[in-house]
Amino acid sequence: MYRFEFIYQLIYTEMLWKIAWKNIIHKPLNTSLCVCLLIFGVAIISLLLLIQHQLEQKFERDLQNIDVVIGAKGSPLQLVLSAIYHLDAPTGNIKLEEARKIMKNPYVKEAIPLAFGDSYMGFRILGTTEDYLNKYNAKFLSGSIFSKSMEAIIGSDVALRSGGQIGSTFMGTHGDSKGGHIHENHPYTVVGILKKTNTVLDQLVLTNIESVWQVHSQENAHQSQLDTIHASSLDFDHDHKHTHDHEHTDHIITADSMEITAILLQYKSKMSALNMPRIINEQTNMQAVLPALEINRLFYMLGIGATTLKFIAGGIMLMAGFSVFFVLYGRLRERKYELALMRSVGYQPRHLFSLLVLEGVILAALGYVIGWILSRIAIHFINQQAENNHNLQFGKEWIPGEEFLLILTFLIGIISALIPAWQAMRLDVSEIISEK
């Protein structure tokens, strides 16, 4: 007997699904409004979750353990965005001479100088040292670190886009924009290709600082001075080596008159990381910024916007819930004969209840699936819009937190269907059939 019960249940369910589904597509105009509302609610929230999650992840990953960023005076946020994330133009340049004083400070654990060069296919060419690679745990897919000027390492995205290989050469384009002036006399040679790190490194072309100087200063007619510059002339070592090679003194002075763009600092203690910036800001014409603080502020500001949007999307979801309710409840009147018929061919009240809830669930599922897809399509277009900015590309994967949206959507479908379902369950079949 129990076995039969079970089979009946299965048959019930299958036919109920069919009736529920056919009912929804039978009069699409009635149901399309509430599905549309659900779609937009889901799409907006999904998109927000996706962007917020990926931005936070990206910003956190790229920050590594950089305590302080030093650069030219200007907007602190701009400095952070340009020096760490390469999302913005730099605030200006700083004198290497002044920068070196800070880099040699005994409280400094690690200091990485950055010199912004040109761009290649929209990817920034960044002059730096090997420390920068180590900071992001870079591994070589092939090749090795640059050993002399005009040698370059390319990040994985750059390699993918440009098809660059070891030994191939390319020219930098002046500035960050495409179509700028091309430095034709100074080809870079690719000596290394990095594995994907999922950090800002993937979208950078790295070279030594001298290369950046060489390309630019020659343009600025400092050719004679710079011909003498080579890698060993620079001392970025914070250990303050007094055993420095004196025959390079002239070159160091030459280099000291040169400029770099920013320094990424890691201090030995958090205390000095908090104190140093104040001193630097007061006593030099450079600025020191705590990037974590700036990023927190940025997220706080973005968060206000995101919260507003979430409220709007929540409102849309609420309206969607009401519209599911109205569609199911409103059609109850015209469907009561169908429901009475179902009772007279053997369905029990609880089956009618499930039928209506099932319809709510199907509407919610439609809304969720299409909304989710729509959010991914939106990401695709956002990526296309930001095509020039390689650092702002979003993935389309499932994001933690989306399961709550899924549950929320289904809850909306179920809860909106509860009252109509209750009404359907309590229909007096005999009365409905007698009244006609």
Indicate whether 36 belongs to the interface with other proteins (CB under 8 A). Answer: no
Closer Cβ to other proteins, 22 or 242, answer by number: 22
Closer Cβ to other proteins, 116 or 347, answer by number: 347
| Among 327, 340, 366, 378, contact with other proteins (rule: CB under 8 A) | 340
Sign of CA dihedral 338, 342, 343, 345: positive
In the complex, minimum distance from the CB of residue 320 to other proteins, in angstroms, rounded to a whole number: 22
Indicate whether 30 belongs to the interface with other proteins (CB under 8 A). Answer: no
Tokens coding 181: 């002036």
- The answer for residues whose C-beta is within 8 angstroms of residue 154's C-beta and 6 or more apart is 123, 162, 164, 190, 192, 193, 194, 204, 205, 206
Spacing of C-alpha 32 from chain mean position: 33
First to last CA, the chain: 38
* # residues contacting other proteins (CB under 8 A): 30
- Which stretch of DSSP H or E encloses residue 363? helix 349-385
Closer Cβ to other proteins, 298 or 425, answer by number: 425
Tell me the three state secondary structure of residue 180: coil
| Among 332, 373, 418, 433, contact with other proteins (rule: CB under 8 A) | 433
In the complex, minimum distance from the CB of residue 24 to other proteins, in angstroms, rounded to a whole number: 9
Indicate whether 29 belongs to the interface with other proteins (CB under 8 A). Answer: no
Q: Following DSSP, what letter does each residue of 205-266 receive, concatenated? A: EEEEHHHHHHHHHHHTT-HHHHTT--GGG----TT--SS--GGGHHHHHHHHTSEESEEEEE
Judged by CB under 8 A, which stretch of 29-37, 193-201, 335-343, 378-386 contacts other proteins? 335-343
Closer Cβ to other proteins, 245 or 431, answer by number: 431
What is residue 118's DSSP assignment? E
Indicate whether 332 belongs to the interface with other proteins (CB under 8 A). Answer: no
Indicate whether 388 belongs to the interface with other proteins (CB under 8 A). Answer: no
| Among 1, 29, 221, 345, contact with other proteins (rule: CB under 8 A) | 345
Indicate whether 341 belongs to the interface with other proteins (CB under 8 A). Answer: yes
Judged by CB under 8 A, which stretch of 8-16, 268-276, 285-293, 366-374 contacts other proteins? 8-16
Judged by CB under 8 A, which stretch of 34-42, 71-79, 117-125, 349-357 contacts other proteins? 349-357
> What Å distances lie between residue 202 and 8, 10, 81, 209, 271, CA to CA?
59, 54, 16, 19, 32
Indicate whether 22 belongs to the interface with other proteins (CB under 8 A). Answer: yes
Closer Cβ to other proteins, 32 or 64, answer by number: 32
In the complex, minimum distance from the CB of residue 19 to other proteins, in angstroms, rounded to a whole number: 6
Tokens coding 338: 């169908």
| Among 185, 220, 224, 434, contact with other proteins (rule: CB under 8 A) | 434
Q: What pairing do the DSSP bridges indicate for beta strands 94-95 and 259-260?
A: antiparallel
